[in-house]
Amino acid sequence: SSMIDSNRVRCGVVGLGGWGTKRRATLRQAGCFEIVGGVDVRPEIFAEAEAEEGHALKRYADVSQLCEDSQIDAVFICTPAQLHVPQAMTAARAGKAVFTEKPLGPDPHACRELVDYCEQNHIPHGHDFSMRFAPQWQYVRQIVASGQLGKIVSISAATMSTAGFFF
C-alpha cells in the first residue's frame, strides 16, 4: 500500500534541508500535505528528511524531473534566492501549484514574469511573508500605527536567528 494519502496535497520540496527543514515542519503541522519527494544538492539530507517525515521520499535529480512526476500536485521552492524564480517557473510551466520562499527573487522583472505567467495560466502560486505575522512584528506595527512615535520617515530593522541560518 502507498504511503501517500490521496486526500492531501502531494508535494515536492526543492531544497529539503536548510530552510526546507522549517517549511517541511509547517507542512506536517498543517496536516493537509503529503511530501512525496524532493531535490537537494546534498544527498545526505534525504536520510534526515525521511526520518522527520516518517516515510521514504522520492529523490529527483532536478526540478524538471520532480515536475514530470504526476504524483506531485504542488512544488515548494526552499533554495537560495537566486534560484527561486527559475525553479518556480519550471514548476509553473509544468502546471504545478508553486510556493516560493522569500525573497521571490533578485530581479523584479523576472518576478513579475513569473507572477503574470501563473495568473494567466491559472496556476496557484504563493510567496512567503510569514514574519509579518510574528508577534514581535505585529507589536511594532501597532506602535507605528498608533502614532505615538510621530511621523515615521525611515525604518531599519534586522533579525537574527540562532538556528544556524544567517541572513
Per-residue pLDDT of the chain (167 residues; tens, 9 = 90+): 344 556 899 999 999 999 999 999 999 999 999 999 999 999 999 999 999 999 999 999 999 999 999 999 999 999 999 999 999 999 999 999 999 998 899 999 999 999 999 999 999 999 987 777 788 888 988 999 999 999 888 888 777 665 554 44
Task: Report how far apart, in Å, the C-alpha atoms of 52 and of each of 59, 68, 138, 143 are.
Answer: 15, 25, 31, 39
> Alpha-carbon torsion 21, 25, 26, 31, what sign?
positive
DSSP helix/strand/coil, 51: helix
Quote the CA–CA distance of 30 and 94 in Å, as a whole number: 25
Quote the CA–CA distance of 86 and 166 in Å, as a whole number: 23
